Chain A
């Protein structure tokens, strides 16, 4: 039994952290809500009580998943590029502009627009990458700063050049129908992009764990000195990991525009890059685990919205829960004493086995 606890310690720790987070949120709900039982039900079960809300979970998870995948690649190379927010925003803004300027035959349209948005994201990832590789500029700082550049530049392009003046809000013109990602389950807004996100997750998994470049990225992340000593071009890996991450972020941003809104309507940066960092951390930068992490976070979000609509508890609660869970998960030492005690007992048991065997 204890052997298995050791083997799956990280998973168990994550689950316990989540449970503690939920327990604390239950406490908070009991304190602030006048009818805590009902509120709790909305919060925990709200997302599965109707088809459209369940759909909401998948729709919400999609851009978060793209964000998480985009984060996981540079993170696996130990490059703490946090520019995904900007890459998503700029990919979507310039991708929208591209779609509005160049009209193409339907079968090419969506693919070309997504590819273009990906290139924008990749270019945005290249900047901190090359700055780090060439001049040792800290990518955490440069990518963070570039987020602001991306946000205001994207906003400028949309508001001054592609704004639909007939619309009542600050939004771009609507994309031609041929560039939409089809919503294919009636009663929900689940669109092709949801499938695309899953395909991307599997591709990223294969990329990281089964290709030569993926191996290089992981070795650089484990130990940069070792990679260099072994002959890996660390410079190339530092840059490429951020470029590829940027590509995925750019695509993710555009998918959201093409699948849900059909026009660019983000006057505020949507935060998918930050959510991406959260799910990448929860999923230990592993693409398959990130799928579940993104669904989990989306479930919490939707639960929070239901709670907000149907009860007297404000949706800010969700942020509280999220933060507590992330704090617990990222605290490496959380439960480490417990692990140590099990380790000691396991070691003693092994010794006894050895003794009796010899």
Chain B
């Protein structure tokens, strides 16, 4: 087999001192699906950004089709036949599919006017060539995410890309949509394309990859044929230690409802109903999982529960008290803690120290302050203790949060939110973008909190997470609860998929 791409000793240091790649080298064979796996923060995305001309490495070289290359921009990479489908799709939502496909290379009449017919014709041609069906005349914003992704792939193909990079493409897809994508990728391989597939979902890697490169801590740990490795072996290479498969903890004692939501409605500023008569209960000792494609009202629901957003009507009863319309502090005082969806926006103040971040919900209480003065000595010791208890990799409680990795920042958030003995925990995407080690820790802590009698409300776009942790599951689609599963035994992602897509709903 021919080598299409050789990566030689790539070193990348970010301006904040983080060394993302520490001498990465491996080869990619032509006409294969090459999976790049590793924990979050291992350096996969950085490497791909270098390949695609977004970042410049300090050292090392890239040899593409036998020639040393140095891409100055994504445009440069595309011209040379390398395309990338980003995790967050880069399409113009208000343009049609055909317009998006031909953006920048659009056919014109007399060099001025758009030639819509020809545009559709071109779109149809590539679509047919690769067997990827897309509705040409629809606007991108009206399409489901799986179809948008197909548009993005087609867009790259139209530009004669030979090497296609997909950055965690299944993170936003339902299981059904993922299957469609894999079929597409296999077809592309038949057409002679080479694909780099970034993922940390090992099941998928085994399913479609020919070769696998495992990256850990900025270094290549192994590059092997996928057939040589089991899922378990890949996982251990990623983490760098043995993983014991975890038994699901025995079902805990379920008690009184601590969080009750009744007929909650929310109409947003644009007068669009985002949540429609949502009702559910979460009892002491259970985890209620919310499954659903992102953007179906989960964010708003969580913000209403935690006081960051005002509901339109309905009741939110926490520990027996109606907390609808109360401030975040009143809600927190009533025993609620909140692991936010976007930790950089809500969860931390990056430019502040770890200890300052750890006390934001309690600085005004004794013993953190006396009178109007903060007790920094106590707070520093307290910070040291939480850093130790929650395994945060930091030099001291005075280190800035911005100097930590994503997983450790999340540990700071979790340390704060779970150390206040909450009776209700609202956890929104608690493991998004963090490494496997931190992921394990966060999940273990949530289970412990559950066993101690907390009611946990878990929102996640990661179906595996919802299935693994939840005592019960509800599915949210378009602001409504379309399905409830009180028994999660034997439930799989495939069972939830149709509800998440709105194809099916319970009566």
Contacts and interface: CB of A to CB of B under 8 A. Distances in A.
Interface of A: 6, 210-213, 215, 218-219, 222-223, 225-233, 336, 339-340, 343-344, 346-348, 351
Nearest to B218: A351
Contact of B327 (A211, A233, A340): A233
A212 B352 contact: no
A225 B13 CA distance: 30
Interface stretch (B70-78, B196-204, B367-375, B455-463): B367-375
A212 B363 contact: yes
Nearest to B16: A343
Contact of B360 (A213, A232, A344, A347): A232
Nearest to A207: B372
Contacts of A230: 328, 360-361
B92 interface: no
A213 B18 CA distance: 34
Contact of A219 (B15, B356, B373): B356
7 contacts: A211-B374, A219-B356, A222-B351, A230-B361, A232-B329, A232-B360, A344-B58
B36 to A, nearest CB: 22
B369 A226 contact: no
Contact of B372 (A212, A223, A225, A347): A212
B346 A226 contact: yes
A6 B16 CA distance: 10
Contacts of B328: 228-231
Given A211-B372, A213-B372, A344-B58, A229 B352 contact: no
Q: Nearest 6 A-B pairs (CB), nearest first?
A: A230-B360, A231-B329, A222-B349, A223-B349, A229-B346, A344-B13
Nearest to B14: A343
Interface residues of B, number: 35
A82 to B, nearest CB: 22
Contacts of B17: 6, 343, 346-347
Nearest to B18: A347
Contacts of B374: 210-212, 215
Contacts, number: 85
Interface of B: 13, 15-19, 22, 58, 306, 308, 327-329, 332-333, 338, 340, 345-352, 356, 360-361, 363-364, 369, 372-374, 376
B352 A218 contact: yes
* Secondary structure dominating the interface of A: helix
A227 B356 CA distance: 11
Given A223-B350, A228-B328, A231-B332, A212 B15 contact: no
A343 B20 CA distance: 13
Contacts of A212: 363-364, 369, 372-374
A343 B13 contact: yes
B410 to A, nearest CB: 14
A101 B372 CA distance: 36
A231 B363 CA distance: 10
A269 B83 CA distance: 60
In this complex, the member of B306, B328, B350 whose beta carbon has the largest number of chain A beta carbons within 10 angstroms is B328
Given A211-B372, A215-B374, A219-B360, A336 B346 contact: no
B43 to A, nearest CB: 13
Given A222-B350, A225-B346, A229-B308, 13 more contacts: A6-B17, A212-B372, A215-B374, A219-B349, A219-B360, A223-B352, A225-B345, A226-B346, A229-B347, A231-B333, A343-B17, A347-B19, A348-B19
B70 to A, nearest CB: 18
